[in-house]
Structure 1
Amino acid sequence: MAIPLTVIGQEIVRYCGTSTFAVGILGGVLNTLEFFSLRTFRESSCAFYLTIMAFSNIGCLGFSFSPLIMVALINIDVSNTSLFYCKFRRCMSQAFLGISMTCLCLATIDQYFATCAYPRWQRLCNIKLAHRLVIITALIWILHGIPYLMYFNLVLSSTTNTTTCTSTSSTFNYYRNYIFTIGIIGYLPIVIAGLFSLLAYRNIQQLAYRIVPLIRRDLDKQLTTMVLMQVLVCVFTLTPYTTINAVVTSINLTNDPITQMKLQLVLNITLVMYYLYFASPFYLYLCVSERFRRQFIHVLSKIFINFCKRPTIRVNQVIPEP
């Protein structure tokens, strides 16, 4: 029974994980391209948060998910052979994860303020403040990665005689397993984003009764719909892995090998679901927002037209006189 469960878990990561990674990278690039191409999005603080989140999602897939896929495909983990990559990968993974989750929370809070009836709160939604908050967020998560550079090392196992990239500090391990993974990037962003997205949804229902410019009302509805659906995906994709990871971390189940195999299978399934969150935003926006689809077609058309209008260099030949 152990062999089929192990094979099933590897096949799930190999095929589903590879597909998720490929479409996620493509979607992240297209998402970033559209947000940067349209002036409407460039001037919106909420769209700026979504842009940084899209860029961070690419980093999450690249630094966190791709090594797991490599192990499933060819059974090679570079972080177990290179000390630099061992430290660098862990540091960058937590930074991109933290920035992505923080930007999701900032986007939902921004939409709540943008749809409020009080002008004082609406003034908090400006692009300059968004730039500052993103810079502060990036600095905080970069500094947060310093312990990863300090404590992660290549450790030789006395039983298997193999080296693994792991933390050598028990205190830091406790913080990373319980506070950071389960709390800071687990349940905390789900609660914050869920709360403010519901408040923003309530506000958006009242926009029709306020004197609001039509363009701004449409943009607020579009962004609120996109953010709200993103939060729903966040709840359904991040909660299972966070919960299973908390159970596995908190309870010692190493005595029963069959239970271990079952839990590992569940972990593999929920792990792919977890990274599906980082791969899905672009396709989610296409599905839930007709305006986003029109904008995407406009961006692609503009890129195609500019590509076709590229200037060609003509070589002028001078024919000598006879």
Structure 2
Amino acid sequence: MQSVFDLLLLYLELPARYLSEAFNIDITNSSQSYCKFYFITSDGLRLLSPSLLMWACLDRYLSSCGGSRYRQLAQMKLARYTIPITIIISFLLFSYVPFFYEVYQIPNTTIIVCFINGDRKTQFHLIYFSFVTALLPTILLVLFSLLTLKNVRHQRHQIQPINHSLHRRRDRQMVRLMLCQTFIYIAFGLPFLLISIYLSFTTASTTVLSSFVIQLCLLINYFDFVYSFYVNTLSASMYRKEFIKLLNKLMKILFRSTIIERRYLSQHFGQQSTSFRLNRITTLQPQTTN
């Protein structure tokens, strides 16, 4: 589900930013309703991605706990309730956004923009947005990662020798995946957090250098919404196996054969063509000698 909301955010923001930067066309100021819809949707989707990641880290922490009561909470059926509730809360936390953003015409110009009019409103929104979407998720991700790592290390001494290697491999994959996700999220989200805090407390005019830094931090922040697939497939073998299964299903539907079958057939026909060339060479050699 996290990847789905990440794609929605990218499809919402990237075309608008591309039109704005490349052709100087700002689609957010086309109407008051779209101006409000764009920013509440963007802020809600930006909160959904770290929120679902926090639920995943909490699920791994509960799964690694020794008590059965905690492990029972980490069940698939609970996700049916947590995901819809998370979606509703994420957008409710930014329910004030439509009342803040308006389409204005800059005085003494013909430029129309969609922004928050008022320094106090802008400062409140930047501080609140930075805390909810960046600072609080970072603290919770680090907390659950450390607690999970502590539980895994504690359980290693209690595992039976027969299942020691299996549990150790699963624990290692789980901890590696969680730590990679946490580290990458912090690395790509920290510049955006710092620049948001800086903008909320400064009233200086925007220079060319500060504008470049802001755009660079925004660009780096977009990597937070594209890394999940690559981290999952590179850091955990179970995700690579599931990805190969999915590819096999797609290949079976499209080409009526799986990846393994197509590779075997290509190798088989390659060997046949090689043997055919060798046989042809051997048959031509006596003719040339005569």
What range describes the TM-score normalised by the shorter chain of this pair? Answer: 0.7 to 0.9
Confirm or deny that 1:275 pairs with 2:222: yes
Q: 2:136 aligned to 161, 164, 188, which one?
A: 188
Distance in structure 2 (CA, Å) of the matches to 1:250 and 1:170: 10
Equivalent residues of 1:116, 1:203 under 8 A apart: yes
**d(CA) in 1 for partners of 2:151, 2:249:** 35
Aligned to 2:128: 179
CA distance in 2, matches of 1:119, 1:171: 49
Alignment partner of 1:87 out of 25, 36, 46: 36
Aligned residue for 1:146, secondary structure, equals: coil
Which of 276, 284, 288 in structure 1 is aligned with 2:235? Answer: 288
Equivalence for 1:262: 209
> Does structure 2 conserve the Cα–Cα contact (< 8 Å) formed by 1:207 and 1:217?
no
Identity among equivalent pairs (%)? 22
Distance 2:169 2:108 in 1: 62
Q: Match of 2:199?
A: 248
Choose 1 or 2 for highest CA Rg: 2
Task: Give 2:64's aligned amino acid.
Answer: T
User: Could you tell me which residue of structure 2 aligns to residue 13 of structure 1?
Assistant: none
CA–CA distance in structure 1, aligned partners of residues 5 and 134 of structure 2:
16
Distance 1:131 1:93, change over 3 A: same
Deviations 1:130-149 (A, max 9, x none): 22111111111233343223
Of 55, 58, 63 in structure 1, the residue corresponding to residue 4 of structure 2 is 55
1:107 aligns with 2:63: no
1:307 aligns with 2:254: yes
Q: Please state how far the C-alpha of 1:108 moved relative to its aligned partner.
A: 1.1
Structure 1 gaps, min length 5 = 1-51, 311-322
Distance 1:62 1:71 in 2: 15
User: What are the Cα deviations for residues 224-273 of structure 1, in whole angstroms up to 9, with x where unaligned?
Assistant: 4322211100111101121122112212222xx6xx22121111222111
1:298 and 2:245 correspond: yes
Q: Residue 37 of structure 1 corresponds to which residue in structure 2?
A: none
CA distance in 2, matches of 1:145, 1:247: 21
User: CA offsets per residue over residues 102-151 of structure 1, 9 Å max, x none?
Assistant: 11111111111111112221111012222211111111123334322333
Deviations 1:38-83 (A, max 9, x none): xxxxxxxxxxxxxx21111112212234322221222211112232
Match of 1:76, SS? coil
After TM superposition, the structure 1 = structure 2 runs for residues 42-191 of structure 1, keeping only pairs within 5 Å, are 52-168=1-117, 172-180=121-129, 182-191=130-139
Distance 1:116 1:196, change over 3 A: same
Q: Taking structure 1 as reference, are residues 75 and 219 closer, same or farther at Cα in structure 2, changes over 3 Å only?
A: farther
Which has the bigger relative contact order, CA under 8 A and spacing at least 6?
1
Work out the CA distance in 1 between the residues paired with 2:91 and 2:97: 10
The structure-2 alpha-carbon separation of the partners of 1:267 and 1:167, relative to structure 1 and needing over 3 Å to count, comes to: closer
> Alignment partner of 2:244: what SS?
helix
Q: Which of 152, 156, 165 does residue 208 from structure 1 map onto? A: 156
State the alpha-carbon separation in 2 of the partners of residues 178 and 58 from structure 1. Answer: 26
Greater shift, 216-225 or 233-242, is seen at 216-225
Q: Output the CA distance in 1 between the equivalents of 2:245 and 2:74.
A: 26
CA contact (8 A) 1:155 1:164 kept: yes
CA distance 1:248–1:208, change in 2 (3 Å) = same
Cα distance in 2 for residues equivalent to 1:244 and 1:167: 18
Q: Which runs of 5+ in 2 are unaligned?
A: 258-290
Q: What does the per-residue CA deviation read over 1:199-246, in whole Å, with 9 as the maximum and x for residues that have no partner?
A: 212322344334487877755543443222111001111011211221
Shift of 1:175: 2.9
Counterpart AA for 1:109: L
Where do residues 14-29 of structure 1 align in structure 2 (5 Å cutoff)? none
CA distance in structure 2 between the aligned counterparts of 1:132 and 1:220, rounded to whole angstroms: 27
Mapped contact 2:9–2:46 kept (Cα < 8 A): yes
Shift of 1:174: 3.5
Distance 1:198 1:240 in 2: 23
**Residues matched between the structures, number:** 254
For the aligned residues, what is the CA RMSD?
Answer: 2.4
Q: Distance in 2 between matches of 1:95 and 1:220?
A: 33
Matched position secondary structure for 1:159: coil
CA distance in 2, matches of 1:309, 1:278: 34
Shift of residue 193, structure 1, vs aligned partner = 0.6
* Structure 1 runs (4+) greater than 4 angstroms displaced: 168-172, 211-221
3-state DSSP class of the match of 1:130? helix
